[in-house]
Amino acid sequence: LHAAAERATGVILCPDRIWLNGRFVRGFAVELNAGTGRIERVAKMADYEGDSRVRQMPGRALLPGFVNAHSHSFQRLIRGRTQWRTAARTADFWSWREAMYAAALSLGPDDVYHAARFCFIEMLRAGYTSVGEFHYLHNAPDGTAYDEPGELALRVIAAATDAGIRIRLLNVAYAAGGIGQPLAPEQRRFGTPDLDAYLAGTQHLIDGLRGSPLASVGVAPHSVRAVPREWIRPLHDFAAQHDLPFHVHASEQPAEVEACLAAYGVRPVQLLASERALDKRVTLVHATHLSKAEIALIGKARATVAACPTTERDLGDGILEAGSLLAAGAGMAIGSDSQTIIAPLEEIRLIEYHERLRSLRRIVITGGDGALRSRRAAGERRVVAPSLIGIGTRGGARSLRLPTGDIQAGAFADLIAIDLDHESLAGATEDDVLAAALALSAPPSVVSDVWVHGRCVVQERAHADAGEAARAFSKVVVS
């Protein structure tokens, strides 16, 4: 009855603290509008005295939900299955990719749905409220198109809406096995060999999702390896015409940079810039092997880099130069990518911790979107937590071009509650200490409740469909 009433009229959340403009504040309430799925108002609790819609939340702090800017949900199936090698062979990104291809070849549409739904529920419980699903599983296992060309994209979107997570389906263009090379047989499910057919398919998805509260589409050439140079500009033009995000894997591995230099005489980010595909709607995924000139180009363009440090450390990709990118003016977001670990707090802290390992310094990431207002509040004292939380929330929202990632009137009501009685936060009573403990130390289990589009989808760490989704997931067989 209680839940039904909240659905009808919205709810006014009154936690101990809320995350507002880069810091925790007390005494504020957040009014959710169930009809619009947006935050109606953020106001002093005293303004709502006696209102029957008030829900007291003692021992809880409210944050904007984290945004997962880069995900391949089906890869959740190979977690734990690639952590070995033969004595005769070195393991690296490329050998991992063979195992990932084998898994991709074995999945039917139901398998894709069950893998995605379970993965999205895991994301919600860890504190992600939006996901940018970089979707390149297009064709049937034999490489032919499905009767409905968007079959698998629609399965992933159904999985997201059933789980209750917001999704930006980044529809991937994938036409080559390498620069100037045909698709390899094991890449046959990914292929979009015709540009016009890809654009028509993307348009079809856009039209089908008009009016959907949770699902929308974006444009994503897989990488400069996987699409011809001539495709880059029309793909970006299409994204601009429809005001969509444009995502692309870039410079994840030195071999990609070398192949790009050999074929075009420029590095991947320079190639994108030369094709007028580097601006604020662009997100470069990984970008772990950049030249100084490329860092300057990204910053000047105000493009975003999606850091996926739990995946990058797993695959031996390299370390992102996050501090230099932010200083140059780049945006930054996080992604769970290969799903080795699904934990936004872990992704944001690794951006800082990896910089510490490289630079032999501490307190490195103090800039970026999240820090602007908090720095003033903190005087001359530089702190990392607001920057890191800003990367995970506001930075992701900017990458996916969604009005989320902030607790403010008009934003989507995508929120997470933190359990302040969690053992990992014991003793963190001052606001700035709490922020630091959360950003740099706490596990995903500090997330107690999650709202997406104004609807509570995780309550006291429980998601209604988690058990059934786990059973269906565990029945999916991967080779």
322, 355 in Cβ contact below 8 A? yes
Question: With CB under 5 A as the contact rule, which of the stretches 91-99, 259-267, 335-343, 448-456 interacts with Zn ion?
Answer: 335-343
Count of helices and strands (H, E) across the chain: 17, 16
Question: With CB under 5 A as the contact rule, which of the stretches 48-56, 194-202, 334-342, 470-478 interacts with Zn ion?
Answer: 334-342
Please, which residue, 339 or 366, has the CB nearer to Zn ion? 339
Query: Least CB distance from residue 222 to Zn ion, whole Å?
Result: 9
Alpha-carbon distance of 404 to 112, in angstroms, equals: 27
Q: H or E stretch including 29?
A: strand 28-33
Question: With CB under 5 A as the contact rule, which of the stretches 2-10, 81-89, 274-282, 332-340 interacts with Zn ion?
Answer: 332-340
For Zn ion, the nearest residue by Cβ is 337
Alpha-carbon distance of 361 to 255, in angstroms, equals: 29
Q: Which of residues 336-375 bind Zn ion (CB under 5 A)?
A: 337
Please, which residue, 337 or 346, has the CB nearer to Zn ion? 337
Token pair 């820090």 is at which residue?
Answer: 371
What is residue 214's DSSP assignment? S
Please, which residue, 69 or 163, has the CB nearer to Zn ion? 69
Catalytic residues: 286, 337
Please, which residue, 14 or 260, has the CB nearer to Zn ion? 260
3-state secondary structure of 14: strand
> How far is residue 185 from each of residues 106, 198, 282, 376, 429, measured CA to CA in Å?
14, 20, 30, 56, 57
Query: Least CB distance from residue 240 to Zn ion, whole Å?
Result: 23
Alpha-carbon distance of 347 to 71, in angstroms, equals: 13
Tokens of 323: 């501090």
Query: Least CB distance from residue 262 to Zn ion, whole Å?
Result: 23
> Which among 116, 75, 118 is positioned nearest to 97, based on CA atoms?
75
Which amino acid type is present at position 86?
T
Please, which residue, 287 or 428, has the CB nearer to Zn ion? 287
Question: With CB under 5 A as the contact rule, which of the stretches 83-91, 265-273, 330-338, 374-382 interacts with Zn ion?
Answer: 330-338
Q: Kindly determine how many residues on this chain lie close enough to bind Zn ion according to the rule CB under 5 A.
A: 1
Query: Least CB distance from residue 250 to Zn ion, whole Å?
Result: 11
Q: H or E stretch including 469?
A: helix 466-474
Please, which residue, 281 or 286, has the CB nearer to Zn ion? 286
> Which among 441, 432, 367 is positioned nearest to 17, based on CA atoms?
432
Query: Least CB distance from residue 355 to Zn ion, whole Å?
Result: 22
Query: Least CB distance from residue 265 to Zn ion, whole Å?
Result: 26
What residue ranges bind Zn ion (CB under 5 A)?
337
